[in-house]
């Protein structure tokens, strides 16, 4: 992982101290600007251009009734993204952010994009079988590596000028998958990390807990890579690959909710220092998200009870990142405005 530019961060911090406001009065927005300065190597960072990458995959664990929605919803929702009708599609259109949807494991034919600003690719890893994490490994080693590469390839295709990569996912059953990976990485029990996902009832929640408990029992003590390969999914692996390549290219990563955060936790465990390149958009309503954020030492920008996924929370937070950069670059200093600073009369 490349190191942030501490000298640029210090210059940004000094600029903040000279802007026409009391020190620290813009709170976290000041911290965001200074952090981006370190990541971009300039005292005047930018949040744009930004680009959104969304990785979609089915999950065999749905056979255990862990979601109130059938697996076919994953493919149907991907087509909804492409037609512009999903929440993330609307937010990307509103914010002027291109949306790239990548199929890494959807087991049904998908339509090409139908609206401007949305593009689609089906990666060959989508054709490889996935296992039921409760009783078998979710991915072979080869599939895991190809899913990582699928994510990295999408970042490689981004223009050099992209400053911020927004990550999202879509996959019925993937809160169960993420909970299993989180339990293994954090050493926590299933009950501590399993949430209601797409809205399971009490019986469905009990099934999710039992499935995750079985996976943890089978894989306890696994390395981070083994945990993701055996209990994760191709979407989580692709998110890791995309974030890792973004960091290598010195692009900041705007992290969505529970599922993306679990992928980022796994990446940090496998590549220490990755965490420094991440901005955490929000804390979701999923039970395990708090534990993941705490483990990463993350302070999310928002807490709105969101639990949709799809990158929607990250896109909702993007205007705050925009505001942080705009204020940092556009506000006058005390000297420029002719305003007396404290201690100077």
Instruction: Please count the residues of the chain.
Output: 345
Known catalytic membership, residue 310:
yes
Q: Using CA atoms, how far apart are residues 323 and 98, in angstroms rounded to an integer? A: 19
Q: Helix (H, G, I), strand (E, B), or coil: what is residue 157?
A: coil
| Given the residues 248, 310, 335, 336, the one annotated as active site | 310
Neighbours of 161 (CB within 10 A): 8
177: its two tokens: 């998958």
Task: Confirm if 70 and 183 have CB atoms less than 8 A apart.
Answer: no
Query: Helix 312-330 crosses helix 28-40 at what angle (to 10 degrees)?
Result: 90
Question: Could you identify the residue written with the tokens 């943890």?
Answer: 216
260: its two tokens: 């993306």
E strands in the chain: 50-57, 99-105, 118-122, 164-170, 252-255, 278-280
Catalytic residues: 310
């Amino acid at each position: 992982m490349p190191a942030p530019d501490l000298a640029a961060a210090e210059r940004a911090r000094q600029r903040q101290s000279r802007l026409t406001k009391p020190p620290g009065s813009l709170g976290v927005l000041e911290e965001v600007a200074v952090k981006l300065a370190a990541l971009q190597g300039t005292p005047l960072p930018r949040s744009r251009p930004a680009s959104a990458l969304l990785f979609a995959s089915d999950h065999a664990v749905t056979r255990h009734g862990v979601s109130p929605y059938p697996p076919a919803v994953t493919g149907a929702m991907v087509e909804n993204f492409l037609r512009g009708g999903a929440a993330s599609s609307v937010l990307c259109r509103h914010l002027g952010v291109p949306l790239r949807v990548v199929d890494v494991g959807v087991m049904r034919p998908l339509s090409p994009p139908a609206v401007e600003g949305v593009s689609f690719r089906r990666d060959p890893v989508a054709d490889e079988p996935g296992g039921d994490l409760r009783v078998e490994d979710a991915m072979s080693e080869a599939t895991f590596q190809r899913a990582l590469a699928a994510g990295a390839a999408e970042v490689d295709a981004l223009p050099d000028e992209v400053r911020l990569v927004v990550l999202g996912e879509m996959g019925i059953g993937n809160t169960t998958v993420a909970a299993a990976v989180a339990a293994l990485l954090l050493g926590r029990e299933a009950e501590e990390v399993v949430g209601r996902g797409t809205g399971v009832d009490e019986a469905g929640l009990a099934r999710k807990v039992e499935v995750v408990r079985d996976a943890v029992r089978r894989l306890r003590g696994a390395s981070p890579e083994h945990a993701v390969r055996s209990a994760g999914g191709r979407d989580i692996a692709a998110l890791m690959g995309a974030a890792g390549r973004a960091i290598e290219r010195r692009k900041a990563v705007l992290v969505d909710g529970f599922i993306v955060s679990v992928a980022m936790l796994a990446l940090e465990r496998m590549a220490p220092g990755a965490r420094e390149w991440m901005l955490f958009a929000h804390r979701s309503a999923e039970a395990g998200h708090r534990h993941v954020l705490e483990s990463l030492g993350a302070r999310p920008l928002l807490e709105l009870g969101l639990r949709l996924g799809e990158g929607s929370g990250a896109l909702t937070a993007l205007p705050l990142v925009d505001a942080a950069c705009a204020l940092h670059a556009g506000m006058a200093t005390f000297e420029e405005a002719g305003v007396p600073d404290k201690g100077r009369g």
